[in-house]
């Protein structure tokens, strides 16, 4: 039992209602843990609604049904290779083992429709193992988790609540001090703490300090990624790792703030600017390409592709087909039509397409693109894009159980981290993130933290036996009292309706019903009778 003047107690305090925070709360609450979610904003989910949240899982039942052989060891090796072996072996193994149980839990517990992208093997993966949650990706996943949280009797959600500091005692984290945004009253809550409040990509000062190369790129994501978890963890003595890592994209679709995924470019889309001219290799390094896009007129560029490429991208990425393209793309039957819709220079665009098609016929590319796609033919599609930073990849150092560790590698009792608050799976780069492993790391660390909290918490029947018995007795007494009160009110109402409807008709009421009828229904000139009061 934690010590201190606690206003409220729980087994798990989740700081930040992100996707991973919601998942951890549900998992812990399902095993009887009292869980409190503390969210600074008014809405749940962070920026998940605009993400695909595709999840890499090895050895899932969906892979088995599709005849795909895979296992966690294979996924762990792919993750270590993508991170250039900066990733600790035990952490990679622990996270790889969470994938299959996670997709099964989402499908069975939360009712999420899981779709295996069986025809698409992205770069860095050895087999097809990406699982899309629902038709709308992160929006569907957020809706399913929110529904499970709000209906759970063991979960309390407190929005508009700012966590001021972590409460520590004897080197362990015992709880948090929180403040309501409007009232400003400080409360102290007891329990183990999971930091799931995002990274610091939205904090320009921290980005300039740790990742100056991406400081000029705009941030397009959740407004809650301000580094709160990083600051809270540091104040508790936590170690940090790889703060110089950041995920950037040169293909942030506008409007809509949706990142265009790799299959579209892999299948042959090209970039043009407002003058209709092509200016870079579309498959180049993400930071350099994002910076180049921002340097074009209007700080934007346009991904141009035809129906053949659109069909291939739709088949490879259902999120692109169902969300990104319908919201951000435009279609033109001719080159002039698509140029008019985006106010592009039609003459420059025509020269660009002619030169590109001539090079494709000769298997050559003016910008030395690695894989030369086929010629572009009408009808055409286009998406307006810009370069942006999406999320940071560094954060609090954790062990294989999602426990935050200090500078000496020792875990800090009572403190966990997941999502953007924890160090990611990439190395010291501004890209190179293995597709699907970000969601795996976020939800995987959430599951590891929940399992550790469950293991350290007493079973529900053993926590407060005397207090539990008293509460049950009070509940029974309260229910009995409410039932009697409702029956009495119902009887009184029936008697009053009968009295009002019959007017001057003589009605006899037994004496024991006088208190039910009330003075308004008692006759004005009563007289006694053997059956009680007789009205006139």
Query: Is there a single domain that holds both residue 85 and residue 127?
Result: yes
Count of domains for the chain: 3
**pLDDT reported for residue 461:** 47
**pLDDT reported for residue 483:** 65
Query: Is there a single domain that holds both residue 273 and residue 358?
Result: yes
Q: Does the residue 281 lie in any domain?
A: yes
**pLDDT reported for residue 470:** 56
**CA–CA distance, 254 with 384 (Å, rounded to integer):** 6
**pLDDT reported for residue 49:** 79
**CA–CA distance, 55 with 33 (Å, rounded to integer):** 26
Q: What is the mean pLDDT of each successive set of 10 residues along the chain, which is 536 residues long? A: 66 96 97 95 84 94 96 94 80 95 96 92 92 90 95 94 92 92 76 94 94 93 87 96 92 91 91 96 92 96 96 92 94 96 96 93 87 89 96 94 95 96 74 84 97 82 46 62 70 60 48 47 47 44
Domain end: 463, 495, 519, which one?
Answer: 463
**pLDDT reported for residue 431:** 56
Helix (H, G, I), strand (E, B) or coil at 41: coil
Q: Does the residue 176 lie in any domain?
A: yes
Query: Is there a single domain that holds both residue 191 and residue 286?
Result: no
**pLDDT reported for residue 197:** 92
Which 3-state string (H, E, C) describes 421-459?
HECCCCCCCCCCCCCCHHHHHHHHHHHHHHHHHHHHCCC
**pLDDT reported for residue 134:** 87
Domain end: 389, 416, 438, which one?
Answer: 389
Q: Does the residue 170 lie in any domain?
A: yes
Report the relative pairing of strands 532-534 and 527-529 from DSSP bridges: antiparallel
Q: What is the CATH number of the domain that holds 371?
A: 3.90.700.10
Query: Is there a single domain that holds both residue 123 and residue 256?
Result: no
DSSP-derived secondary structure for 278-298 = B-S-TTS-HHHHHHHHHTSGG
Query: Is there a single domain that holds both residue 185 and residue 268?
Result: no
Domain end: 430, 463, 496, which one?
Answer: 463
Q: Does the residue 172 lie in any domain?
A: yes
In contact, 228 and 235? CB cutoff 8 Å: no
Q: Which domain does 523 fall in, by range?
A: 477-534
Q: Does the residue 469 lie in any domain?
A: no
Query: Is there a single domain that holds both residue 95 and residue 216?
Result: yes
Query: Is there a single domain that holds both residue 177 and residue 254?
Result: no
Q: What is the CATH number of the domain that holds 125?
A: 3.50.50.60
Q: Which residues contact 267 (CB under 8 A, 6 or more apart)?
A: 305, 309, 312, 313, 316, 373
Evaluate the CA torsion angle 68, 73, 79, 84 in order and state its sign.
negative
**CA–CA distance, 496 with 511 (Å, rounded to integer):** 16
- Predicted structure pTM score: 0.82
Q: Does the residue 188 lie in any domain?
A: yes
């Amino acid at each position: 039992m934690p010590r201190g003047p606690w206003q409220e107690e729980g087994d798990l305090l989740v700081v930040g209602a992100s996707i991973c925070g919601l998942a951890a709360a549900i998992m812990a609450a399902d095993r009887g843990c009292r869980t409190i979610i503390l969210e600074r904003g008014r809405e749940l989910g962070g920026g998940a609604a605009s993400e695909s949240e595709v999840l890499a899982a090895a050895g899932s039942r969906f892979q088995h049904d599709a005849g795909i052989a895979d296992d966690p060891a294979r996924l762990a090796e792919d993750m270590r290779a993508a991170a250039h072996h900066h990733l600790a072996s035990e952490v990679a193994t622990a996270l790889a083992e969470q994938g299959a149980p996670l997709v099964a839990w989402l499908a069975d517990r939360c009712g999420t429709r899981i779709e295996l992208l069986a025809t698409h093997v992205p770069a860095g993966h050895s087999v097809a193992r990406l699982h899309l949650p629902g038709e709308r990706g992160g929006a569907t996943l957020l809706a399913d988790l929110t529904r499970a949280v709000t209906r759970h009797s063991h979960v309390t959600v407190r929005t508009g609540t700012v966590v001021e500091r972590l409460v520590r005692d004897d080197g362990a984290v015992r709880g948090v001090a929180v403040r309501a945004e409007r009232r400003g009253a400080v409360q102290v809550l007891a329990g183990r703490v999971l930091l799931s409040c995002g990274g610091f990509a939205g904090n320009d000062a921290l980005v300039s300090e740790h990742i100056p190369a991406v400081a000029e790129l705009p941030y397009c994501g959740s407004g809650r990624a301000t580094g709160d978890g990083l600051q809270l963890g540091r104040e508790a003595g936590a170690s940090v790792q790889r703060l110089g890592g950041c995920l950037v994209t040169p293909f942030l679709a506008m409007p809509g703030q949706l990142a265009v995924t790799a299959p579209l470019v892999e299948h042959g889309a090209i970039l043009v600017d407002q003058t209709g001219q092509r200016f870079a290799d579309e498959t180049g390094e993400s930071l350099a390409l994002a910076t180049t896009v921002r340097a074009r007129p209007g700080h934007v560029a346009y991904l141009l592709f035809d129906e053949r490429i659109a069909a291939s991208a739709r088949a490879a990425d259902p999120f692109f087909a169902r969300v990104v393209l319908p919201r951000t793309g435009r279609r033109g039957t001719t080159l002039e039509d698509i140029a008019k819709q985006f106010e592009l220079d039609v003459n420059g665009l025509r020269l660009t397409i002619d030169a590109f098609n001539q090079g494709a016929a000769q298997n050559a590319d003016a910008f030395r693109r690695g894989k030369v796609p086929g010629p572009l033919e009408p009808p055409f599609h286009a998406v307006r894009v810009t370069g942006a930073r999406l999320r940071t990849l560094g954060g609090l150092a954790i062990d294989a159980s999602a426990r935050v560790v200090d500078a000496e590698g020792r875990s800090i009792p009572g403190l966990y981290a997941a999502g953007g608050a924890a160090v990611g799976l990439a190395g010291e780069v501004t890209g190179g993130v293995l597709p699907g492993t970000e969601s795996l790391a976020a939800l995987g660390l959430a599951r590891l933290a929940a399992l550790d909290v469950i293991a350290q918490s007493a079973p529900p029947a053993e926590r407060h036996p005397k207090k539990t018995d008293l509460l049950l007795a009070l509940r029974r007494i309260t229910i009995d009292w409410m039932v009697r009160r409702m029956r009495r009110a119902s009887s009184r109402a029936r008697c009053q309706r009968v009295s009002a409807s019959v007017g001057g008709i003589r009605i006899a009421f037994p004496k024991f019903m006088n208190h039910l009828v009330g003075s308004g229904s008692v006759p004005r000139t009563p007289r006694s009778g053997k059956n009680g009061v007789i009205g006139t």
